Amino acid sequence: MQDLISKDIHAITQAIIADYDKERPIDKLDVFNQPDTKVIYELIQQLIRVAYPGFSKDKNYRIYDIRNNMAMVIEDIAFRLNKQIAIAMRYGQHPDEAKLAESKEQAQKITLEFLKKIPEIREYLATDVAAVFDGDPAAESADEIIFAYPGLYAITVFRFAHVLYQLGVPVIPRIMTELAHSKTGIDINPGATIGKYFMIDHGTGIVIGETTEIGEHVKVYQGVTLGALSTSGGRKLFNKKRHPTIEDYVTIYSGASILGGDTVIGRGAVIGGNVFLTKSIAPSTKVSVRNQALRYNQGKREIQELEAYPDAAWFYVI
C-alpha cells in the first residue's frame, strides 16, 4: 500500500506554517510574553486556600502550624502573581528596556495592593456564605457551602478577579472568571459590581454582564441573565453602561432575564421565574408571569383542562 502521508506531509506542514505570517490576532507566535493559564489556574486554587484556610490540605508539605503554611502560600502567590501581572501589563506590546522596567515596578505595586485587599475580600466572602446559609433550607452547615456549593466557588473567584480588574490588570481577571464559568456554568464578568450578602442558588446558566451593579442582600437563582439590551453596536458600546442595576434586597427567580443599562430593579423587588424585563421596576414590586397556558392533546384531539387558580402568579424556584 502506498504511503500517502509521507509523500505529502512536508508540503502541507509548510503551508500551515506559512499561514502564520498573515499578522492576524490568531497568528501570534510569542508564547513566552503572554499570561500562563496553567499558572493562573493554580493561583486560583491558592487564593481559595487563603480565603478558606481550614478547608483544604497542603499536599506539598507536612505541617503543624497552619499559619506558617499560609505564610508560605501567600509569598508564593506574591511571586507568581507578580510575574503574571508584569506579562499582562505589557501584553501585545514591544516595550524598550525602560518600559520593561516600568511594567515590572507597576506589577509589584499592583501585587502588593491586591494582597492588602485580601482581608476585605474575605469579609465579603463571609457575608456571602452567611447569605447562602440563611437563604437555602437545604444547606446543613456553612462548611457544606464552602466545600460543595458551585455558586460560592464562582463568587469567590469573582471577588478576587474583580479586585484585579479594579487595579487595571488586563486579561488575567477574565481568565479567572472563565475558569469558574467552565467549572460551574456561572458566568460573572470580573467588571461587575456586587455587594455583600450575595446569594447564588443552584447557579447553572447564570450570566452577569460587565457593567451590572448589584447591591447587598441580593438572591439570584439558576438561569438568570443580567445582560445587555443590544450588542448590535459592537465596540461602540465599550465602556458604556450596558447591563442593569439591581438594588438591595432583590430576589430574582430562575429563568428571568433583565436587560439594559438603564434598567433599575428597585430595592426589595421580587422578579418571578421566566420574567423578561427591559424597563425599570419600582421598589418593593413583585413581577411575575401569570400561569402559562398549557395545551393538552390525546392523540389528534385537543382537550381542555380547567385552570385551578386563574389569578395565580407563577413563581418558580427549586
pLDDT tens digits for 135-194? Answer: 999 999 999 999 999 999 999 999 999 999 999 999 999 999 999 999 999 999 999 999
Q: Is residue 29 over pLDDT 90? A: no
pLDDT tens digits for 64-75? Answer: 788 888 999 999
Cell numbers for 286, please give them. Answer: 413583585
478558606: which residue's cell? 52
Q: Indicate the SS3 state at residue 72.
A: helix
Q: CATH classification of 23-185, choosing from 1.10.10.10, 1.10.3130.10, 3.40.640.10, 3.40.50.300?
A: 1.10.3130.10
Q: How far is CA 188 from CA 128, 206, 207, 210, in A?
A: 15, 8, 6, 8
Are 23-185 and 192-318 the same fold in CATH? no
- Strand 313-314 and strand 289-290: pairing? antiparallel
Domain ranges of the chain: 23-185, 192-318
Nearest alpha carbon to residue 204 among 217, 223, 177: 223
Specify which of 15-24, 33-42, 51-60, 210-219 reaches the highest per-range mean pLDDT.
210-219
Calculate what percentage of the chain has a pLDDT beyond 90: 70
Phi, psi of 270 (to 5 degrees): -125, 120
Nearest alpha carbon to residue 186 among 217, 158, 215: 158
Q: Which fold has domain 192-318?
A: UDP N-Acetylglucosamine Acyltransferase; domain 1 (2.160.10)
Output the pTM of the full model: 0.87
Residue 303 banded pLDDT, cuts 50, 70, 90: low
Assess contact for 235 and 248: CB atoms under 8 A: no
497542603: which residue's cell? 58
Cell numbers for 19, please give them. Answer: 499561514
Q: Is residue 80 over pLDDT 60? A: yes
